A and B are shown apart, each in its own frame.
Chain A
Amino acid sequence: MPADGGIGASTRRREDVRFLTGKGQYTDDINIRGQAYVHFLRSDIAHGKINNIDISDAENMPGVIRIFTSKDFEGVGGVPCGWQVTDRFGQPMQEPKHPVLAEGKVRHVGEPIAAVVAETREQARDAAEAIIVDIEDLPAVIDMKAALADGATKVHDDLTSNLCFDWGFVEENREAVDEAIRNAHHVTTLELKNNRLVANPMEPRVAIGDYDAARDEHTLYTTSQNPHVIRLLMGAFVLGIPENKLRVIAPDVGGGFGTKIFHYQEEAFCTFAAKAVNRPVKWTSSRSEAFISDAHGRDHVTKIELALDENGKFLAVRTDTYANMGAYLSTFAPSVPTWLHGTLMAGNYTTPLVYVNVKAVFTNTVPVDAYRGAGRPEATFQLERVIDKAARELGIDPIELRRRNFIQPDQFPYATPVALEYDTGNYQATMDKLVEIADIKGFAARKAESESRGKKRGLGIAHYIEACGIAPSNLVGQLGARAGLYESATVRVTATGSIAVMTGSHSHGQGHETTFPQVVAEMIGIDPGQVDIVHGDTSKVPMGMGTYGSRSIAVGGSAIVRATEKIIAKAKKIAAHLLEASDEDIELKDGQFTVKGTDKSVAWGDVCLAAYVPHNYPLEDLEPGLEETAFYDPANFVYPAGAYACEVEVDPETGKVEIMSFCAADDFGNIINPMIVEGQVHGGLAQGIGQALLEHCVYDENGQLVSGSYMDYAMPRADDLPSFTTDTSCQTPCTHNPLGVKGCGEAGAIGAPPAVVNAVVDALYDMGVTHIDMPLSPSRVWSAIQAAK
């Protein structure tokens, strides 16, 4: 192991210097000579028939180069969906076309109708205002249950209804679950909503299309979490551009949180328009546009029932969920309420029977897709809320009830009734750690102190598990994924021993440029400063499925390990030749290749030089050079888990909730860089607390987005949040990836919402409050107190 900076070191981030000095290069910082600017004219109504688009005045406005409508996209494909769900009856989901520019109808506020390409941003915007669109208003369908009622207006006229699919899982368990619930000693029922959110990475989306006519080559610069996926989807399904003629670059990206996974129309438009006008074409989203065009998250309406025996053992779980798809199917939308949600309904518990029903619904709203956690927060929220409610109904301590039902450490690997096999975990240990760091024993005294000041104090517990490190390709293929979910890495060693690692993972805040070199440096025993990471460019990285689902270190990191292992194996052969020994006798330690049991050695740098200056080299057996590629496809998901505790004070007069403390005890398996892992937990907690207390994406009955800016959508600010107490000392390493790592990116966003809501309900339970839907704004909390009186 290197003196410092290897696996387990809290190495400070090398990317920070450029971000701290204004030298980051985000997509909007890129300007190409001769570029023109795009402004999209977007629908200001939720549902309407387009009778006519008159661009004659607009075309004559100053600076206008060309105006595009759907007529210019005849023969161009729609934006594809990457996951096909099969319904309870064996039928494929209903899958409407998602055009680049609206065809015939508009189906949500914000849908692009026309696009102006002009010399300046202002001229493009001015001209867009001069386009006259004749739209006939149609009734908007916003509420999911109303959208499924007989005679409801259809979002897509060519589909049979607004039902995208009716999914049952595990369908064979349906009757057994019904029977268990019918016969149970106790059944706790909870109806709840998982509030609709907007991901809101601080960098709005940007796309720049560039076309080289002499070479017939397209380049797209875009704010993406996965440039190769964009190249594949856009090239093969939308524009028909061969991948060798299409380069996609995602440079520094200012946060993603899921919403920058997806392929968006604006990317396809800029790529298409750059060729059509033979100019580079740039679009920069405003924040207002982001609210009406970035895919939203969550938006589930659920009824969950938990059946228990007389000892508080869980017998069965049954849930019915309505999941909003919005007006079109975004890239991974169908997977979120199904395979990323239903498979998590066993939680950390030994519940033998689970049945999950999900009805996915089209509405006249922005498409809904993965947002930090994606399906797993929705599963965890309902499960951890209903367990808490059951504990209160049965008079059992909520921690004790969870402990009675935990999968025990000696039960791993554990096959759940919902198709997952958890490889490792120790939930009693994470709960023990939480009880310690949250000083649960001292809660009663703190509660008494709060009450002496007229405040209600509550303690909320949640224990989450998530399946991440997405995902085994053969499994997801069976489940409907239209892509593989491996990751690739190329390790390229130079003649002087420095290393470039080309990874298909993409960093948009996660610190890959720091952590990945820690892994390679540890394996070879060199300074991490000799290792650089290359990512975000399809012309430099062989292939990449990108970063989401907490997969970068578990899948991308494992690919880097596999490629580095190949490098080491070849380097040992070169060393054996130089040392006149056999391959098997060569050991690598601290950057030195040594013949076992002797003091004969050769340094890493000398071996690298020999690989590229092969004067003394086994050329008959070995190619010169030192570069290897590996594709890693995981054998299973990884299963981080953790225990969270939130303490709140509620002002019963105003309904205001203040978080007094938030403690998180997580098991992420082995950890490469503890500082970065802790930072990921903080960010997840902030988004989870934001969902629980503040954030709410609201449409009115006409489909107008009421919360369309930071004036109306409550982003968590510094003074809304406490400092956090985190612990990652409980570590049960993953058994199936070479680093023993689990993911950490989504944990906080998954575990925090039920902890916060459980805390507020705990505070107000003696006043008769048993549930409040998120976000727990002062008005909702106050109203719940009044209603319970």
Chain B
Amino acid sequence: MISVTMTVNGKPVSGAVEGRTLLVDFLRETAGLTGTHVGCDTSQCGACTIHVNGRAVKSCTMLAVEADGAEIATIEGMATPDGSLGVIQAAFKEHHGLQCGFCTPGMVMSAASLLAENKNPSEAEIREYLEGNICRCTGYHNIVKAIQAAAAQLG
């Protein structure tokens, strides 16, 4: 077992892991943050998307040991400090950008990453950026609307 420590949503988290332990499993099982989901085993679906040192990463593509010392942000850290929904989260609610909710954490994390890179994305740019996040419920229509609305609000 290997000891790892990382900062998750601003708090230090440590644990002993096997070399083969995926970062997503460390977050779900050691850190107890079950908002990050596992929807596939080929790094296709994006349900496990988190931010590692500020960049959107599919946490099933990294080993926990690779994240030793990293700054991690997950869906649990996306609300405002008073606990209310952040702008992107609120836009998903307002525009019905989620149904079963399983892909939603990954979608929100990808959307946040997109809007950090591109403050005013076109519909085509949003759709292209979300290529690595699969949603089976919404047909993406309202996810696109939500991200456009969040972009407008964030200016």
Chain A residues engaging chain B, CB cutoff 8 angstroms:
12-13, 15-26, 28-29, 31, 122, 200-204, 252-255, 257, 284, 286-288, 508-511, 675-676, 678-679, 682-687, 709-711, 715-719, 721, 723-724, 748
Q: How far is the CA of A721 from the CA of B131 in the complex (A)?
A: 11
Q: Decide: A682 and B138 in contact? CB cutoff 8 A.
A: yes
A-B contact pairs, 5 of them (CB 8 A): A203-B39, A203-B100, A509-B100, A709-B42, A717-B140
Distance in Å: Cβ of B136 to nearest Cβ of chain A: 5
Query: Pick the contact of A718 from B79, B100, B127, B136 — CB < 8 Å?
Result: B127
Q: Decide: B42 and A201 in contact? CB cutoff 8 A.
A: no
Residues from chain A with a CB closer than 8 A to the CB of B20 are 122
Q: Decide: A26 and B37 in contact? CB cutoff 8 A.
A: yes
Residues from chain B with a CB closer than 8 A to the CB of A719 are 124, 127-128, 130-131
Distance in Å: Cβ of A607 to nearest Cβ of chain B: 34
Q: Decide: A20 and B102 in contact? CB cutoff 8 A.
A: no
Q: How far is the CA of A710 from the CA of B140 in the complex (A)?
A: 18
Q: Decide: A683 and B139 in contact? CB cutoff 8 A.
A: yes
Q: Decide: A202 and B140 in contact? CB cutoff 8 A.
A: no
Q: Decide: B45 and A682 in contact? CB cutoff 8 A.
A: no
Distance in Å: Cβ of B1 to nearest Cβ of chain A: 12
Judge if B36 is at the interface, Cβ distance under 8 Å.
yes
Q: Decide: B144 and A709 in contact? CB cutoff 8 A.
A: no
Q: How far is the CA of A351 from the CA of B109 in the complex (A)?
A: 52
- The 8 A-B residue pairs whose C-beta atoms are closest, nearest first, are A22-B35, A19-B101, A254-B102, A686-B139, A509-B100, A710-B44, A509-B99, A682-B139
Q: How far is the CA of A31 from the CA of B135 in the complex (A)?
A: 26
Q: Decide: B92 and A16 in contact? CB cutoff 8 A.
A: yes
Residues from chain B with a CB closer than 8 A to the CB of A288 are 41-42
Residues from chain B with a CB closer than 8 A to the CB of A31 are 29
With both beta carbons as reference points, the residue of chain B lying nearest to A682 in the complex is identified as B139
Distance in Å: Cβ of B26 to nearest Cβ of chain A: 13
Known A23-B76, A679-B138, A687-B139; 4 more pairs at CB < 8 Å: A16-B98, A284-B38, A717-B140, A719-B130
Q: How far is the CA of A724 from the CA of B139 in the complex (A)?
A: 9
Q: How far is the CA of A710 from the CA of B127 in the complex (A)?
A: 18
Q: Decide: A715 and B134 in contact? CB cutoff 8 A.
A: yes
Q: How far is the CA of A201 from the CA of B134 in the complex (A)?
A: 10
Q: How many residues of B contact A (CB 8 A)?
A: 56
Distance in Å: Cβ of A281 to nearest Cβ of chain B: 17
Residues from chain A with a CB closer than 8 A to the CB of B28 are 29
Given A17-B93, A20-B89, A254-B101, the answer on whether A202 and B135 have CB atoms closer than 8 Å is yes
Distance in Å: Cβ of A709 to nearest Cβ of chain B: 5
Q: How far is the CA of A203 from the CA of B142 in the complex (A)?
A: 20
Residues from chain B with a CB closer than 8 A to the CB of A13 are 93, 96
- How many contacting A-B pairs (Cβ < 8 A)? 180
Given A202-B103, A682-B141, A718-B131, the answer on whether A711 and B44 have CB atoms closer than 8 Å is yes
Distance in Å: Cβ of A119 to nearest Cβ of chain B: 13
Q: Decide: B89 and A255 in contact? CB cutoff 8 A.
A: no
Q: How far is the CA of A645 from the CA of B89 in the complex (A)?
A: 33
Judge if B63 is at the interface, Cβ distance under 8 Å.
no
From 87 to 113 in chain B, residues with beta carbon under 8 angstroms from any chain A beta carbon are 89, 92-94, 96, 98-105, 108
Distance in Å: Cβ of A15 to nearest Cβ of chain B: 7
Distance in Å: Cβ of B20 to nearest Cβ of chain A: 7
Given A203-B37, A715-B136, the answer on whether A22 and B99 have CB atoms closer than 8 Å is no
Q: How far is the CA of A726 from the CA of B37 in the complex (A)?
A: 31
Q: Decide: A710 and B45 in contact? CB cutoff 8 A.
A: yes
Query: Pick the contact of B99 from A18, A200, A683, A721 — CB < 8 Å?
Result: A683
Judge if B75 is at the interface, Cβ distance under 8 Å.
yes
Distance in Å: Cβ of A778 to nearest Cβ of chain B: 17
Residues from chain A with a CB closer than 8 A to the CB of B108 are 20
With both beta carbons as reference points, the residue of chain A lying nearest to B84 in the complex is identified as A17
Q: How far is the CA of A20 from the CA of B106 in the complex (A)?
A: 10
Judge if B152 is at the interface, Cβ distance under 8 Å.
no
Distance in Å: Cβ of A536 to nearest Cβ of chain B: 13
Q: How far is the CA of A683 from the CA of B100 in the complex (A)?
A: 11
Judge if B7 is at the interface, Cβ distance under 8 Å.
no
Judge if B126 is at the interface, Cβ distance under 8 Å.
yes
Distance in Å: Cβ of B57 to nearest Cβ of chain A: 17
Judge if B66 is at the interface, Cβ distance under 8 Å.
no
Distance in Å: Cβ of B133 to nearest Cβ of chain A: 7
Q: Decide: B35 and A21 in contact? CB cutoff 8 A.
A: yes
Q: How far is the CA of A688 from the CA of B42 in the complex (A)?
A: 24
Q: How far is the CA of A22 from the CA of B31 in the complex (A)?
A: 13
Q: How far is the CA of A682 from the CA of B131 in the complex (A)?
A: 18
Residues from chain B with a CB closer than 8 A to the CB of A716 are 139
Residues from chain B with a CB closer than 8 A to the CB of A711 are 42, 44
Judge if B16 is at the interface, Cβ distance under 8 Å.
no
Q: Decide: A255 and B93 in contact? CB cutoff 8 A.
A: no
Distance in Å: Cβ of A615 to nearest Cβ of chain B: 41
Q: How far is the CA of A200 from the CA of B143 in the complex (A)?
A: 19
With both beta carbons as reference points, the residue of chain B lying nearest to A256 in the complex is identified as B100
Residues from chain B with a CB closer than 8 A to the CB of A21 are 35, 75-76, 78-79, 85, 89
Distance in Å: Cβ of B151 to nearest Cβ of chain A: 15
Q: Which of A23, A286, A719 has the most CB of B within 10 A?
A: A719
Q: Decide: A718 and B101 in contact? CB cutoff 8 A.
A: no
Q: Decide: B101 and A24 in contact? CB cutoff 8 A.
A: yes
Q: Which of B40, B74, B108 has the most CB of A within 10 A?
A: B40
Given A12-B93, A22-B76, A711-B44, the answer on whether A253 and B39 have CB atoms closer than 8 Å is no
Residues from chain A with a CB closer than 8 A to the CB of B35 are 21-24
Q: Decide: B34 and A29 in contact? CB cutoff 8 A.
A: yes
Q: Decide: A254 and B42 in contact? CB cutoff 8 A.
A: no
Residues from chain B with a CB closer than 8 A to the CB of A255 are 99-100, 102, 136-137
Query: Pick the contact of B39 from A25, A122, A202, A685 — CB < 8 Å?
Result: A202
Q: How far is the CA of A679 from the CA of B93 in the complex (A)?
A: 12
From 21 to 66 in chain B, residues with beta carbon under 8 angstroms from any chain A beta carbon are 28-29, 33-42, 44-45, 47
Q: How far is the CA of A240 from the CA of B18 in the complex (A)?
A: 40
Query: Pick the contact of B105 from A22, A287, A683 — CB < 8 Å?
Result: A22
Residues from chain B with a CB closer than 8 A to the CB of A12 are 93-94, 96
Q: Decide: A679 and B131 in contact? CB cutoff 8 A.
A: no
Distance in Å: Cβ of A529 to nearest Cβ of chain B: 16
Distance in Å: Cβ of B63 to nearest Cβ of chain A: 13
Residues from chain B with a CB closer than 8 A to the CB of A24 are 35, 101-102
Residues from chain B with a CB closer than 8 A to the CB of A508 are 100
With both beta carbons as reference points, the residue of chain A lying nearest to B76 in the complex is identified as A22
Q: How far is the CA of A719 from the CA of B96 in the complex (A)?
A: 19
With both beta carbons as reference points, the residue of chain A lying nearest to B123 in the complex is identified as A723
Distance in Å: Cβ of B130 to nearest Cβ of chain A: 4
Q: Decide: B75 and A723 in contact? CB cutoff 8 A.
A: no
Given A122-B20, A719-B131, the answer on whether A19 and B44 have CB atoms closer than 8 Å is no
Q: How far is the CA of A29 from the CA of B94 in the complex (A)?
A: 26
Given A21-B79, A686-B139, A718-B126, the answer on whether A254 and B96 have CB atoms closer than 8 Å is no
Q: How far is the CA of A684 from the CA of B139 in the complex (A)?
A: 8
Residues from chain A with a CB closer than 8 A to the CB of B47 are 202
Distance in Å: Cβ of A336 to nearest Cβ of chain B: 20
Query: Pick the contact of A201 from B100, B124, B128 — CB < 8 Å?
Result: B100
Residues from chain A with a CB closer than 8 A to the CB of B85 are 17, 20-21
Q: Decide: A200 and B131 in contact? CB cutoff 8 A.
A: no
Q: How far is the CA of A399 from the CA of B66 in the complex (A)?
A: 60
Residues from chain A with a CB closer than 8 A to the CB of B99 are 255, 509-511, 679, 683
Q: Which of A22, A23, A24, A711 has the most CB of B within 10 A?
A: A22
With both beta carbons as reference points, the residue of chain A lying nearest to B20 in the complex is identified as A122
Given A20-B89, A21-B85, the answer on whether A717 and B39 have CB atoms closer than 8 Å is no
Query: Pick the contact of A16 from B36, B78, B93 — CB < 8 Å?
Result: B93
Residues from chain A with a CB closer than 8 A to the CB of B38 are 28, 204, 284
Q: Decide: A287 and B74 in contact? CB cutoff 8 A.
A: no
With both beta carbons as reference points, the residue of chain B lying nearest to A719 in the complex is identified as B127
Distance in Å: Cβ of A748 to nearest Cβ of chain B: 8
